A and B are shown apart, each in its own frame.
Chain A
């Protein structure tokens, strides 16, 4: 049984969690990518490594696109500068919500259990 709860969303995409299968799911650019917990960090790091300022300032056409291969996936994202900014925002927001969830879980549920 898979049941996804939303962790965070923007107008450009959303991130979900399935607490039964211990998976996250990214909805972005019409693609649905389901992945393991560990791979979130790696995906975020891959995005963090993309230097938006450098892309902006480089007139070379090859610098207008960035290809991101998500961990343990046979597909890849071909991302424009705007996509990169949107996805960075989505992942950063997800990270904050996950941290908040951690804090709430520890403070509310564990402390008063």
Chain B
């Protein structure tokens, strides 16, 4: 008997499911960063606002990358629903703390997909994920450096203004 499921898609049901979960998480990232951008804008942190607008945009491209991969592999890509976005923050610093925590959460989620790929011997998807593993090195680096500015510069006096100046200058040099 023909294996119709395999002919239709090369994704195992469980892998397809966890990839769709990642679509949701990337969409959530995008919305969270957008909320952070708006808060920074409201509170006069101009550069940080731009920084988060760019992050939001980038997360959307991550989401699409997963989405198109699922569709290309014959799977069923699910357009994500995003709710419960935190719109208010206690401080400028809290935003960067949350951003770093979120990036760590994303890295861990991607590791779990790699686990699932190995369990189901889905080497194609594992290979696809390599790009994201490298990307997360950069994402975590930037978020960590940004938060460190609060200790390096300090928040007193013109501190926050200085931090806002430096945020967009953080640059990750990819290892050769």
Contact = CB atoms under 8 A, between A and B. Distances in A.
Interface of A: 5, 7, 17, 19, 22, 24, 37-38, 40-41, 98, 101-102, 105-106
B8 A38 contact: yes
6 contacts: A37-B5, A37-B8, A101-B1, A101-B3, A102-B3, A105-B6
Contacts of B76: 38, 41
B94 interface: no
Given A22-B2, A41-B13, 20 more contacts: A7-B1, A17-B4, A19-B1, A19-B2, A22-B4, A22-B7, A22-B8, A24-B4, A37-B4, A37-B7, A37-B8, A38-B8, A40-B5, A98-B3, A101-B1, A102-B5, A102-B6, A105-B3, A105-B6, A106-B3
Contacts, number: 32
Interface string B1-36: 111111110000100000000000000000000000
Q: Is the interface of A mostly helix, strand, loop or mixed?
A: helix
Interface residues of B, number: 10
A105 B2 CA distance: 8
A22 B2 CA distance: 9
Closest 10 CB pairs of A and B: A19-B2, A37-B8, A37-B4, A105-B3, A102-B3, A101-B1, A22-B4, A5-B1, A101-B3, A102-B6
B5 A17 contact: no
Contacts of B5: 37, 40, 98, 102
Nearest to A42: B76
Contacts of A106: 3
A102 B3 CA distance: 6
A19 B5 CA distance: 11
Contacts of A19: 1-2, 4
A26 to B, nearest CB: 14
